[in-house]
Chains A and B, each alone.
Chain A
Amino acid sequence: MAATEIVQEIKRPPQPPGPIKWMRDNLFNGWGNTLLTLVLLPFAAYVMFSSIRWMFVDADWQVVTNFPLLYAVGQYPRDQLWRVGVGLSLILFLMGASWGKWGGLLRSIAIAFAILFAVFALLPVHHPEFDLGMRLYLGANALLVLAGYFIGRIQSLKASYIVIGWAITPIVTIIFLSGFENSATLPAVGTTLWGGLLVTFLLAAGGIVLSFPIGIALALGRRSSLPVVSAFSTIFIETIRGVPLITILFMFSIILALFLPSESRIDRLLRALMAVTVFSAAYSAENVRGGLQAVPPGQIEAAKAVGMSNFQTMVFITMPQALRAVLPAIVGQFISLFKDTTLVVIVGINDFLGIGRSIINSDPAFMQLQIEVYLFIAVVYWIFCYLMSIASRRLEAMMGVSTRL
């Protein structure tokens, strides 16, 4: 019997996971990477530092800070601003209530908005229009979200009330924004006076809400077994997808009037909304169609076998599965729509970008300050789009869990 030697294993002492090791692995592993890092690092540092310096020292931000209300609501009469507030506050309240009632992703969205308004209330702008009253209003909105949350949590409050609240929000908002002729309490404010973020959000929200059901209808139409419906939907979708948005915008601006009875005149903003809606609907239709194709035919057979009608099958079985399958693409289309609203500047509507342009053009001195304006606008869009894409990723993750097959 041989003597067994127990060899004690001596483990190599673990290297400290310090920054040295990290740099060695990620920046300097190998000659190529080392060279690359040595070239890129000074360049990146230079860019970063000179940008920061420009931002805080060289740049003249008065072009942005002097016109907060212009950027926000365009030329909307300053004494009627409370009407914009009505819609805004209603939305924020409902957002809080929805968070309270249903939770989930709504919590992040509601809190994000509350924080946004709190930040607005504390912005370091010095402007006569941006007085204490305005700041108090903005801060109150942040609190309104919380109030909505507590109301939403009340068990006895039925979810359907909140849904009804959302349903009447667009109507209420529009009524308060536009007002009526010959009214003392709500004098008419023409849409030509609306501008800035107000217009951008109206177009984006309106476009999203309207284009989605139209897109679903078009997708169903394209897959229909009725040849005329299918042909019409296909031609409609493919034509719109084959031309740039700007041509659709111009078509609605200039030519639409010719296709309707001569007595009708449609408001310019509404025409832009219709154009954006129709354009986005065609793209949403293709996304939904992809989702519909992904639903296994066995699902429909099972629904029929258990006695459900075509309509019930569509509503309970087909659509939920189809939409879940293509949710990322659908939300991506919404984000694109939000960015596409900038094109209305070309048909003369003063959205957020348009206000920036008109501010630059209003004073020759501002010609030097274009970069501040456009960078500011770019950053604002960027923030909203980035937040939307984060929300989309969270939504995807949530949906994935419950439909894991």
Chain B
Amino acid sequence: MTDTTNNEVIISCKNVHKWYDEFHVLRGINMEVRKGEVIVIFGPSGSGKSTFIRTLNRLEEHQEGDIIVDGIELFHDVRNIEKIRTETGMVFQQFNLFPHLTVLKNITLAPIWVRKWPKDKAEKVAMELLERVGIPEQAEKFPGNLSGGQQQRVAIARALAMQPQIMLFDEPTSALDPEMIKEVLDVMIELAKSGMTMLVVTHEMGFARAVADRMYFFDEGLIVESGSPNDIFHNPQEDRTKLFLSQILHH
């Protein structure tokens, strides 16, 4: 995409391990992400890709290895964790919008209470974001009255309202009906083109082809292969990569 090769490293993972009881789910992940890069993470289910992305904002804990996000070390320091969470935004597969609040309140809740913005500033920013994702008219509706695609776009706006440095996407379109996937991907593509650092766990290879700077193939807790979309699609090195690609590209 954009030329990010000279930007500083904004996420650095060295030798990250994680166990769920006895199950070794992350077996030594090494990754460096530069500011502005769009990273696509893909792989079979159970490969640890969702777990990995959730360790980046401490929704999951890693037991070994170093994770540094935006210059802040991610470990047991509660203040660091809070800071990292305000600098990263996350979009979930199940949207997780707050059903008892209007769309507008969903977006302004955190900026008002965490960033301590005054209400008008928060609402102004929220309306701008709703414009950006294409649904400003839904501001006073409740999430239950929106379609899946609209809800996910609100979720993206909610994450962006905190003005994060990094956006994490955990299979954002997997729970959507096919006709709504495009509207969400369009928003994500626009976001990528605007220079946001994004880590996206997804099976949407069209998205990867369009905007990804690098792709990582996860399998059984390890990064099996990584490279630019060009390399991955046209010249995969590992057999497992080839096998997986053949399975998902046969649509």
Residues of A within 8 A of B (CB): 296, 298-299, 301-309, 312, 316-317, 320-321, 324, 402-405
Sample of 10 further A-B pairs with CB below 8 A, known A302-B96, A402-B100 = A298-B92, A299-B96, A301-B92, A302-B92, A305-B89, A306-B90, A306-B162, A307-B85, A307-B115, A403-B100
Is B249 among interface residues, defined by CB-CB distance under 8 A? no
Complex Cα gap A301–B88 (Å): 13
- Give which listed residue, B94, B114, B144, B158, contacts A298 with CB less than 8 A: B94
What chain B residues lie within 8 Å of A309 (beta carbons)? Answer: 82, 114
CB contact list, B88-104 vs A, under 8 A: 88-90, 92, 94, 96-100
Complex Cα gap A203–B220 (Å): 62
Q: Is the CB of A305 within 8 A of B99?
A: no
What 6 A-B pairs come out closest when comparing CB atoms?
Answer: A302-B96, A305-B90, A307-B86, A306-B110, A298-B96, A307-B114
Complex Cα gap A127–B212 (Å): 89
Q: Is the CB of B99 within 8 A of A405?
A: yes
Q: Which residue of B lies closest to A300 (CB)?
A: B96
Q: Which residue of B lies closest to A302 (CB)?
A: B96
Complex Cα gap A130–B25 (Å): 79
- Give which listed residue, B59, B110, B143, contacts A301 with CB less than 8 A: B59
Q: Is the CB of B85 within 8 A of A306?
A: yes
Q: Which residue of A lies closest to B110 (CB)?
A: A306
Q: Is the CB of B94 within 8 A of A305?
A: no
For this complex, 27 residue pairs linking A to B, each with C-beta atoms less than 8 Å apart, are: A296-B96, A298-B96, A299-B96, A301-B59, A302-B92, A302-B96, A302-B97, A304-B57, A304-B85, A305-B89, A305-B92, A305-B159, A306-B89, A306-B109, A307-B114, A307-B115, A308-B110, A316-B109, A317-B98, A321-B98, A321-B99, A324-B100, A403-B99, A403-B100, A403-B142, A404-B142, A404-B145
CB contact list, B73-126 vs A, under 8 A: 82, 85-86, 88-90, 92, 94, 96-100, 109-110, 113-115
Q: Is the CB of B92 within 8 A of A306?
A: no
CB contact list, B120-168 vs A, under 8 A: 142-145, 155, 158-159, 162
What chain A residues lie within 8 Å of B96 (beta carbons)? Answer: 296, 298-299, 301-302
Complex Cα gap A306–B122 (Å): 14
Q: Which residue of B lies closest to A323 (CB)?
A: B100
Instruction: Using A301-B59, A402-B142 as known contacts, say yes or no to A308 and B113 having CB atoms under 8 A apart.
Output: yes
What chain A residues lie within 8 Å of B110 (beta carbons)? Answer: 306-308
What chain B residues lie within 8 Å of A320 (beta carbons)? Answer: 100
What chain B residues lie within 8 Å of A302 (beta carbons)? Answer: 90, 92, 96-98, 155
Complex Cα gap A317–B106 (Å): 10
Complex Cα gap A308–B112 (Å): 10
What chain A residues lie within 8 Å of B94 (beta carbons)? Answer: 296, 298
Complex Cα gap A403–B109 (Å): 17
Complex Cα gap A321–B109 (Å): 15
Complex Cα gap A404–B96 (Å): 14
Q: Is the CB of A306 within 8 A of B158?
A: yes
What chain A residues lie within 8 Å of B113 (beta carbons)? Answer: 308, 312, 316
Q: Which residue of A lies closest to B97 (CB)?
A: A302
Q: Is the CB of B162 within 8 A of A304?
A: no
Q: Is the CB of A405 within 8 A of B144?
A: yes
Complex Cα gap A147–B114 (Å): 41
What chain B residues lie within 8 Å of A308 (beta carbons)? Answer: 109-110, 113-114
Interface string of B48-73 (1 = CB under 8 A from A): 00000000010100000000000000
Nearest chain B CB to A134 CB, angstrom units: 46
- Give which listed residue, A305, A404, A405, contacts B57 with CB less than 8 A: A305
What chain A residues lie within 8 Å of B92 (beta carbons)? Answer: 298, 301-302, 305
What chain B residues lie within 8 Å of A306 (beta carbons)? Answer: 85, 89-90, 109-110, 114, 158-159, 162
- Give which listed residue, B57, B114, B158, contacts A312 with CB less than 8 A: B114
Q: Is the CB of B144 within 8 A of A403?
A: yes
Complex Cα gap A402–B140 (Å): 11
Nearest chain A CB to B52 CB, angstrom units: 15
What chain A residues lie within 8 Å of B109 (beta carbons)? Answer: 306, 308, 316
Nearest chain A CB to B59 CB, angstrom units: 6
Complex Cα gap A307–B155 (Å): 14
Most chain-A Cβ atoms within 10 A of its Cβ — which of B57, B86, B88, B100?
Answer: B100
Nearest chain A CB to B154 CB, angstrom units: 12
What chain B residues lie within 8 Å of A312 (beta carbons)? Answer: 113-114
Nearest chain A CB to B24 CB, angstrom units: 23
Most chain-B Cβ atoms within 10 A of its Cβ — which of A307, A308, A316, A317?
Answer: A307
Nearest chain A CB to B141 CB, angstrom units: 11
Complex Cα gap A61–B100 (Å): 51
Q: Which residue of B lies closest to A309 (CB)?
A: B82
Interface string of B149-192 (1 = CB under 8 A from A): 00000010011001000000000000000000000000000000
Complex Cα gap A296–B96 (Å): 9
Q: Which residue of A lies closest to B94 (CB)?
A: A298
Complex Cα gap A291–B98 (Å): 16
Q: Which residue of A lies closest to B159 (CB)?
A: A306
Complex Cα gap A192–B145 (Å): 56
Nearest chain A CB to B120 CB, angstrom units: 18
What chain A residues lie within 8 Å of B143 (beta carbons)? Answer: 405
Most chain-B Cβ atoms within 10 A of its Cβ — which of A296, A302, A303?
Answer: A302
Nearest chain B CB to A327 CB, angstrom units: 12
What chain B residues lie within 8 Å of A402 (beta carbons)? Answer: 100, 142
Complex Cα gap A403–B98 (Å): 9
What chain A residues lie within 8 Å of B86 (beta carbons)? Answer: 307
Nearest chain B CB to A311 CB, angstrom units: 10
